[in-house]
Each structure stands twice: as C-alpha cells, then as structure tokens.
Structure 1
Amino acid sequence: MALKNNTNTNIISSLCSIPTLFLSLTLLCILSFTLFFLFSNPQIQTQISLHSHHSINVYISDLPRSLNYGLLDTYWSSSVPDSRLPTHSQTHQPQPHLHQNLKFLPYPQNPLIKQYSIEYWIMADLITPQNLRSASFANRVFDLEQADVVFVPFFATLSAELQLGMAKGAFRKKVGNQDYERQREVLDFVTKTPAWNRSGGRDHVFVLTDPVAMWHVRAEIAPAILLVVDFGGWFRLDSKSSNGSSPDMIQHTQVSLLKDVIVPYTHLLPRLHLSEDQSRQTLLYFKGAKHRHRGGIVREKLWDLLVNEPGVIMEEGFPNSTGMEQSIRGMRTSEFCLHPAGDTPTSCRLFDAIQSLCIPVIVSDNIELPFEGMIDYSEFSVFVAVNDALRPNWLVGYLKSFSKEQKNKFRQNMALVQPIFEYDNGHPGGIGPINPDGAVNHIWKKVHQKLPMIKEAIVREKRKPPGVSVPLRCHCT
C-alpha cells in the first residue's frame, strides 16, 4: 500500500514539474495533493463525516424552566387524580415519592398524556451533551445567526393536560386558566426576541401534539412551523360560502403541509418483533370509544355494521387506560386493526397497531400521516374509503380477499418501519444518544425539507410595503 502511495506521489510530482503545463493543470495538481492528504488521514475523514451528518441547525429559545421541565415538577408533585381517568386506574396517577431526586423527570405514564410526549423527546435530544449527539440530525447551535430554525421549548401539551385534568371547565376561558397564562407568557417572551423579529416567527418550531395545545394563541403562532399529529380541529368552515355543507371551503387556515410537520403519536403498546409473531385467529380488531364527536359519526356507523360479524372484535373503552394486556392481546392476535376517524382524523391506535404488527385498516378520508414521502403507508396498511366501509357486508369480505402471502408481506414491511415511530431512547429523562432511524430524527428531516419554502416566505414578508399584510393561505394538496 505504501509503495502504491509513493508511486502516485511520484507521478503527480513529475507532471507538476513539466514547465509547459498550463495554470489549470497546476491547480489540478494542487487539488490532487489536497484530496490525497485529506482522504489518507482517518482523523480528518471522521471529522468530515460528523460535520456532514448534521443537516439542520437548531437554536433553542431561552424560555424559563417553569414552561417545560418545571411543568413535570408540577405534575409529579401533585396528588390530585386526573378526573378523566377511572378512579381504580391508580397506576397512571402521579406518585411524588418516586422521582424526588431526579434532575430530569419522566413524562407522565397516564395514557391520555403519554401519547403526546413528543415535546419531551425532542427537547431531551437537543439538551443532551454534544459529545453524545453524533447520531442526531439536528445540530444545536448557540449563535442565532447560525440557526436554520428556532425551537420553542414549551411543553404545550403537558400545560394543557394539567389544566384539563385539574379544572376542565376553565380550559376555554382566560380567567382562572393557568394554561392560558402560560401560553401568554410564552408568546410575550418569544415575540420580543430578535429571533422572532427577524422572521416574524416563520422559522420558529412549536410542538402542538394535543389538538387543544396553545388553544388561545393559535392565530398568533400561525406563521410558525407547527409539529402536529394531524390537522383535525384546526380548520374553520366558512358557513356563509358553503351553506355549512362543504368541508372544502375554509375561512382561514393556521396549518399547511407546506410549512408544518405531521408527527406520530407516542405508541402506548410495546413493540412486537417479526421473529416473535405468532398465529392470528381474529380477522379484525378494534378497541376504543364508540361515540365520538365530528368525524366520529363514521365510527358509530362502522361499529353497528361490524359488532356482530364473525371474526370481528369490537371492544368499548379507551385503549390502554385500564386494559393494557387486553389491548396487547387483541392487536397481536388479529390480522387487521381498524383505524376509523374519531374526534380527529387519526389517533395513537394506528401506531400501536404498527408496533403490534397488526395491519392497519384506515377508514379516514381526510387523514394526514407522518413522514409521507419517506415511507409508503400503502406497503403495510389498507386504505378504505368511508363510503365503501359503510356498505353492508363489504369491509369483512374485502379483508378476507387478502391472501396469506399478501398479509405476510404487509407485516414484513411493517417490521421495517417500526423504529421510525419510536421516540424513547432508553436513557433516564431521555438524555442520551438517540436512535438515528427513530422518530426525532425523521421529524427534523421533515422540517429540513421545508426550509426553502420557509426562507422564501421570510423574504416575501420583508419586501412588503408598510401596512400591507400577507394573507394566510393554504394550498395543501
């Protein structure tokens, strides 16, 4: 190897010594030496690799701890039970004595809250010591001028859930609503910073996974990059233009696939590896509430159609609040798992099905899904139009038409994408290296894809004459 390197060096030196060579050849010679030096030096190769691995620079807004980890202190120090959970479900209630000496407390195990824990895992990755972050796609920077985006570290979902658990009746009010007070504190702080002023907030990232997170200030953060589980509850119909009959007429919008990112819920059921999969006797399984609002009317009709069908199990109840083992058994012994629309187009149930290798049957015409363009859901899910699903005897017959080979292929493909929907990195408080193929990195990759559009919007806003505003528009498809 040394002889070969010496030979290459001699050849290059000979070429460079010919006096008749033009300047361009001389430059080529210098470039050759440079590349030779760089790529023969392992230390430099490693540095190049680490630098190129970070693809988005993230600056963290300097919010007080009371608006993120301080909310966990509040949760775990509380002895007030969540009024929305059954009184006998004690395992999901705060237990203050368990976490007294921890610097970074765990996120609540209460399933109503845990499914929205994305804010916790993204924050934990960003504040992990830099020497442990070589697998992270986001590169934390401390100079605003180097930042592509500004992350706002407000645990908006936990803030909302604390209010809903303690005094749900005050949630939509402003007086006596601690969540509203925190929302205002965040906005009053962030909007006065140089970071916000340079972009009008368009390069700021908020995590709003609970459909009611930051409910009172949504119009003020509409220009920002919003991480949401779906767009349910964000659109307002223009009843005057559509006579209240068309869901396509939107009065205004605060969300768009152009700037925002759909993120997966935190799954509640443990992962089933393909090697552990066993026989599945049930054709179709569903566990959840029969009666829901808005889009949930489809669920009620499906329930009535399917509840007495052979090979179909329809169980009433919130998945995993009191029946974790029942949910695990139901999903792991069923070929297909039903995913109808509820209050919003999607739910945590979809990601529990994926982790259980139960083929999702998605009956939700307006659903938006995480990481589309990176993964193809049709390779491991079945999509059914609402009109077809509501035809008597149609859905069961359709699912029975899939061959054993097709279903096995679905599960094989599902096993490949299971890690993509995983947030938990297995470290206390989430402080530590993350899975490079996990959900946090995929979220930042999606944000990175939107940077050109975000930068264009910032430039367009700057050239507007005084007094001229940019209307909020959405061209989502």
Structure 2
Amino acid sequence: MGSEVQYILESKRLVWLVAVVFAVIIMFQYFEFPYGDVASSMFTVGRVHPSLSHANQTKASAESPKSSDNITMFDVSNHTKPVDTLSKGNNIGVENHIPSNGSTASPPLSSPASLTAPTTVDNTAVSPTTALDNDTSKPEVNGPSSDPVFNKPVTSENRPAVLAGESPVKKVPRVKTVHERQIGDIVTLSDMHDILRHNRASVRSMKPLRSSMVDQQLLDAKLQIENAPILNRNDRALYPPLYRNVSKFKRSYELMENILKVYVYKEGEKPIFHQPQAVLSGIYASEGWFMKHMKENKHFVTKNLQEAHLFYLPFSSRTLEEKLYVTGSGSRDNLVQHLKDYIQLIAGRYDSWNRTGGSDHFLVACHDWATDETRKSMNSCIRALCNSDVGKEHFELGKDVSLAETYVRSPQNPLRELGGKPPSQRSTLAFFAGQMHGDVRPILLQHWENKDPDMKIFRKLPKSKGNKNYINYMKTSKYCICAKGYEVNSPRVVEAIFHECVPVIISDNFVPPFFEILNWESFAVFVQEKDIPNLKNILLAISNRRYMVMQHRVKKVQQHFLWHNKPVKYDIFHMILHSIWYNRVFRVDPIS
C-alpha cells in the first residue's frame, strides 16, 4: 500500500515538472526572445516564413544576401559572367540575354582584361553608321516587388495641422527590400549593373497615403517605357551604342517632355536656397546651373501641388558649407540640422511630403559632404549627387542619381574651349595633372611621374592664362586619366568628354553619371586602383581600332554633358532631370 502511494506521488511530481517546462517554453515563445522559435525547434517540421514566396526562398538560399543601410546588392560571386561579346542582329532597341551556352557570341573587339565585361548583349548597341560600332551593354531588368506600406495618417486634406512640440515629419517605415547583402571593399561596374537590376525588381518607394492622379500617370508611363517601340533608324539625334536601351530612353524622354510637372518650394532663405548665381562656376557648378534652369523653366514647373510628379528642394550644398561650416571645428552638425529644420518646415506646411514620405522629392547637390549631410533627413528623397560612392557613402542605385561634376570656367560662355584635336593629332598616350588629394593620386605619380614619355602624369601644372597648358594636354591626349581625389568623383570625367579625350576612370566604387541610361563601357575605360602600376599596359592593350570607336563615341555622348545658357534638348540639364524622373517612374507603387 505504501509503495503504491509513493508511486502516485512521484507520478504527480513528474506531471507537474512537465507542466512547468511547457509553461516556460510558452512564455519564451510569447515574448519572442532573441533565440529563435523555441517551440517550433522541438518539432521536426519547421515553419515557413510567411513573407517569402517559394521562389524567393530558393533565390535567397542561393545568393545569401544581407542588408546595409537600404543599399541592395546581389551576391555576384555565384554568377557566371560570360566574356565580352559582339552583338548579333539588327533590331535596334531590342534587349537580348546571352544564353548560358554563349551561342550568340562572336569574336570580341580587343580590350584589356581589366575592363569590366558586360554580362548581356543589347542590340541597341548596333550602330547605324559604322561596322566598328558593335558593342555590349547590360540592360536593366524590371520586375515585381514587395509593397512596403506607408500608413501614417495626415490631419487635413492639404496642410496637416501640427501639435505644439510635435515633429511635422511623419515617422515612416524604412523602405524594405527582398534581398540585401553587405557591400564589399570594391564594387565593380559589373556589380553595379547587378545592384541596379536587382533594385529595380525588388525595391519601391514609400506607398502613398492616398492615391492621386499623378500616381496613375507614373504607372502608365512605366508601362509605356517598358514596352517602348523600336527606335527608328532615321532618328539621328541619338546614337544607339551609347545607351543601355536607346528605345526605352527615347520613350522615357518623350514622356518626360509631355507630362512631367515639378513643384519648386518657395521656402528657404537666400543664399543657401534659391540663389544659383553663387555657384555657376568652378567644380560645383552643376548644382547652380541646374537650380538656375529649373527655377526659370516654364515648361516643367507648376504652381499646382496636385499635378506635380516631383518636388524640388532648391538648395546649394556648396553655399551651405561656405555660410555655416565653422572652419577647424571638424563638425558638420549645424549643416545637417539646418537641412533637417528645412524639411520640418516643408512637412509642416505641405501635405506633399507626408503623402509619400518624401520619395517624390529631389535635391541636386555637388559638394562632397552633401551625401552625408542629406543621409538622414533627406534619405527618402531622390538625391542627385556628385559624390556617388556606392561603397561607403550610402549612394543608393536605382533611387539616387549620379550627378556629373562639371568644371565651368566661364559662366557667360560655358562652352568655351569645347572640343579637341582629331585622333591623328593626339600624340600623348595618357595625361593627368592635379593636386595630391586623397590616396590614389600619390600612387599614380609614384609609378608614372617622369617615368615614361608616353605618360604625361604631373602634379598641379603652373598657372597659365586661361589654363591653356592643362586644356591643351587634354585636347592632344588619347586618354585622360580621371583619378579620384578625396572622394570618388572628379570633374575630369566631364572635362575629358568636353575635350573629346577618352576618359580613364580610376576610382573604385564610383557610379558614373547617368548610369541608369548610358552604357559607359562603350566609350570609357575603367581601371581598378590596384592596377595603377599596370596602367600603360592596360591602355596599350586597347587596339587602335577600338580606340577610334571609343573616341568617336565620346564625341557623340558629348551633347549630354554640356551646359547652355538656355537649355537645349538632351543637354545636361535635361539629362539630370530625366534621370530623376526615370528613377521616380521605376520606383512608383502600384495603386491598390
């Protein structure tokens, strides 16, 4: 009898012990401790994450992406990249992908191994005028994406009321991406193509609080661009090899001309805001010239908030630094705060910012610091930036726009000294001259200053009237070296094009201007910083035939990098605006 009682007591203790353990497990599961799904780990059948489709799960496991501050990138280490090939076929504007067996390949034009080989063939690169102009490019791929929800309400139809002490800027969720990974030390041009293609397919801007007529117009424009008619061969205004897809660009540009409306905010005190005259010369001139043309424009600018597709924040990053930075302080906090206060002002007066979280707003800034200064309060905006560093500066491909840094010497005549010698009269193989900014230029001079008569590599040249010495070298050199300074950008890229010299870009992680539109591999050379000791061999490996093609294309692309006193079709003003428009169109959310 006593043994039976003891057995019953022990059984009860065991039951209580099991109940306590189970209760602890349930408690862990309820409060979602950071050690995973405790309950499900006890069973053999795991749970499928509801946010990923079967296809996305498979893709994620293959690519192992990670996140880094809204920058999205494929793990390209698992991608097979075919060698540079020539395009077959004659259909201008039709994109074709190379089959895995490489069946479309034909013998490539000679090019150095260090040049980035594109991974797809774009038949838009077939020239209507010369048999030499067969080239490769990497067209964009656009696809479905997740739709992040922006669901903070506003308090009125046009101008939201702001409670005392409350920030008028609505806290919005970060733009979500499907696959992300950390950016590596060096992002090659081929990697950038992959990032852009992926971001087009997986990232969207903030979903609007309310649908609007302009949202539907943007969606209609996107559909028309994606189904753009093949470019007519009689169209001589655009040279197909220069573009990722000339037909898409042509259609997108036409739509921009026909429907785009931009609202320019009146708020902001001069000279930081609304005073372009302060920055019409020098290396930061792009932001001044754009502001000047945008504010004077009668075609794109609207005073009706309801019909605007884009909203311009008209400030100068150069003037911001000149007026507010305390020399020697080492702190830019007051500059950042000044822009934050400006956004607070805009958000407090207008519903337009809060409707989209600022994703249909844009800024144009060329100072090196602008990337960092705008990263917090203006990161949701489309940022046209000269400092387009996709590695460390949080430049976001597919949203942000690489702004061409242009050195304007004469605001009265920005086209002064345009052009250069024909190829037969370019006796110098490569030229560079400049101050020893950053860590790349000293290495360039260490290996090439006074080392080879074909390589004219100098420190800053002595001053001469009108800077003739520097300009003459650019006009008479085959290749112009565009080595980064403190940051990835350099005005030499546009200077080289201006003087019809093939640019050689030595700047890891630099996103070249209008990257989403132009096929840069067709007219420029990209050399990694580590390959500077081998620079001459890289250039000599480019055949004379290939050089002639590239130099011809530099002359053709020149129209996109010129400032005019009055804007003209396809010039740099319109190209900047188009890239902003284009990125906005391809990030718009479907209306639910």
Q: TM-score, normalised by structure 2?
A: 0.51
Map 1:174-185 onto structure 2 (within 5 A). Answer: 174=333, 179=335, 182-185=338-341
Q: Is the 8 A contact 1:203 1:224 kept in 2?
A: yes
* Residues 332, 356 of structure 1: 8 Å contact kept: yes
In the TM superposition, residue 398 of structure 1 has moved relative to its aligned partner by: 3.0
List per-residue Cα deviations over 1:160-204 (Å, max 9, x = no partner): 13446xx52246254xx5x55643442232232211111111111
2:279 equivalent in structure 1: 107
> Does 1:303 pair with 2:436?
no
Q: How does 1:16-27 map to 2 (within 5 A)?
A: none
Q: Which residue of 1 aligns with 2:265?
A: 61
Partner of residue 392, structure 2: 235
Q: How does 1:370-381 map to 2 (within 5 A)?
A: 370-381=513-524
The alignment partner of 1:169 has SS state of: coil
Larger radius of gyration: 2
- 1:273-422 alignment runs, 5 A limit: 273=419, 279-292=425-438, 296=439, 298-307=440-449, 308-317=451-460, 324-390=467-533, 394-422=534-562
Q: CA RMSD in A?
A: 3.3
Provide the secondary structure at the position in 2 that maps to 1:63.
Answer: coil
2:230 matched residue in structure 1: none
Matched to 1:410, the amino acid is M
Contact 2:318 2:367 in 1 (8 A): yes
1:230–1:369 CA contact under 8 A, matched in 2: no
Contact 2:523 2:554 in 1 (8 A): yes
> How many corresponding residue pairs?
332
Letter in 2 for 1:121: W
Quick one: distance in 1 between partners of 2:508 and 2:477?
Answer: 23
Matches within 5 A, 1:121-160: 121-128=289-296, 130=298, 133=299, 139-160=300-321
How far does residue 361 in structure 1 lie from its aligned partner after superposition? 1.5
- On the 8 A contact 2:390/2:509 being kept in 1, the answer is no
Aligned counterpart in structure 1 of residue 589 of structure 2, from 435, 456, 468? 456
1:446 to 570, 579, 585: 579
Give the Å deviation of 1:309. 1.9
**Matched residues in 2 for 1:129 and 1:340: separation?**
35
Rate the CA distance shift 1:344–1:271 in 2: closer, same or farther, 3 A: same
Decide whether aligned partners of structure 1 residues 314 and 50 sit closer, same or farther in structure 2, where only a CA change above 3 A counts.
Answer: closer
**Corresponding residue for residue 195 of structure 2:** none
Contact 1:156 1:214 survives alignment (8 Å): no
What is the CA–CA distance in structure 2 between the aligned matches of 1:318 and 1:234, rounded to whole Å? 31
Query: For 2:464 and 2:453, how far apart are their aligned partners in 1?
Result: 27
TM superposition shift of 1:420: 0.4
Larger fraction in helix: 1
- Which amino acid in the other structure matches residue 345 of structure 2? F
Q: 1:96-155 deviations in whole A, cap 9, x for unaligned? A: xxxxxxxxx46353xxxx22222222222233252xx4xxxxx22221111111101112
Whether the aligned pair in 2 keeps the contact of 1:56 and 1:444 (CA below 8 Å) is: no
- Relative to structure 1, the CA distance from residue 64 to residue 206 in structure 2 (aligned partners, 3 Å threshold; closer, same or farther) is same
Partner residue of 2:91? none
- CA 1:157–1:454 in structure 2 vs 1: closer, same or farther (change >3 Å)? farther
Residues 210-249 of structure 1: pairs in structure 2 closer than 5 A? 210-213=367-370, 215-216=372-373, 218-232=375-389, 235=392
Q: Deviation string for 1:359-417 (max 9, x for gaps)? A: 11122231201112432222221222333333xxx321332343433323222111111
Asked if the contact 1:274–1:412 (Cα under 8 Å) also holds between the matched residues in 2, the reply is no
CA contact (8 A) 1:279 1:333 kept: yes
Gaps of 5+ in 1: 1-48, 73-104, 134-138, 237-252, 427-432, 461-477
2:471 counterpart SS class: helix
